[in-house]
Every structure is written in C-alpha cells, then in structure tokens.
Amino acid sequence: MDQQIAGLLNLTLSERIQLVEDLWDSIAAESESLLLPDWQKQELARREAEYARDPSLASTWEEAKQRILARHAH
C-alpha cells in the first residue's frame, strides 16, 4: 500500500486533484447503498421535527461559519 501511495504522490497536482474528484464521485454514486443506524435516523427525524416547529432555531452556513471563526479568533 505504501508503494501505491508513493506512486500517487508522484502525480502532478492537477492529476492528484482529478483523482480525488474521481474518487469522490465514485463514493457519491454508491452512497445510497450506505445504511444509517437507527440512532442516526432518529436523530435526523428529531432535528427535522424541531426545525419544522421553529425554523428560527436554525442557522445558515454563513452564520455558523462566522460563529466558528469568531471562537477561533481569540
């Protein structure tokens, strides 16, 4: 395996980026076959119901990102 990784690291930057994109596409294509454990399904259902009750509890990605960045700025 280490030889394979060493070989991949010898690829050009653009080739490595393309490889990562191809790998990600292959993962995404198979993601439907991944089964969520019951506890994750329950948690997703709980969060969806909470959001349905009060959408103001949710944050946009930008809002969340700003909170995270502000915490790390100190």
**Chain segment 2-30, per-residue pLDDT in tens:** 889 999 999 999 999 999 999 999 988 88
pLDDT band at 70 (very low <50, low <70, confident <90, very high): very high
The H or E element that residue 8 is part of is: helix 2-9
Show the 3-state SS of 34-52. Answer: CCCCHHHHHHHHHHHHHHH
For residue 58, report the phi and psi dihedrals to the nearest 5 degrees.
-85, 160
Q: Number of folded domains in the chain? A: 1
**Chain segment 43-52, per-residue pLDDT in tens:** 999 999 999 9
Task: Supply the range of the domain harboring residue 49.
Answer: 2-72
